[in-house]
Structure 1
Amino acid sequence: MFKRILFSVALVAMAMPAFAADGAATDMTKGIIALAAGITIATAVAFGALGQSRGLSAALEGIARNPAASGKLVTPMIIGLALIESLVIYALVIAFMIVGKM
């Protein structure tokens, strides 16, 4: 009888690290999810800002070369900037969705 109890206690003691490892994997998964959300939004913001600055630079250069064309350049420039900014907002929504899975 003592051997069975000893065997049962040993079996439970050996199973405890396995349950502890499961909790550690969950914590690491949450960290990776948070890192993925951060990288998503950082990449979108960086390249969105780069796209906006290049678009604005090209539009202002065109206006500087031909001031009469400013009326024709302003509207497409604003639409382009709004579309670029919408991509950054979509990345923010995706980052929130990724974090929501935590």
Structure 2
Amino acid sequence: MAISNSLIASLLISLLLIHLAEADQMVNSNIAGKAKMDCGGACDARCQLSSRPNLCKRACGTCCARCNCVPPGTSGNHEVCPCYANMTTRGNKRKCP
């Protein structure tokens, strides 16, 4: 009986330690990871001078969601966000405005 009580206690302690280690790992990964960007605001600023703002915002939103980055300004500056700059359409044209 004493062996089974100590076995149960050690199992519970082990499960508690595993749970605490996983929780610590999740907290550390959230701190180390980048925060999600406000794609709506960034794309509104990027597309404000576009001749087709709805199309621009839709493409920019897709690119921002995938890359978590939008270059500053209304055009150019693609070197700031390589993922955004390297996305292309099926016709090998630049996807992101």
Q: TM-score range by the shorter chain?
A: 0.3 to 0.5
Higher relative contact order (CA 8 A, sep 6+): 1
TM-score (norm 1): 0.35
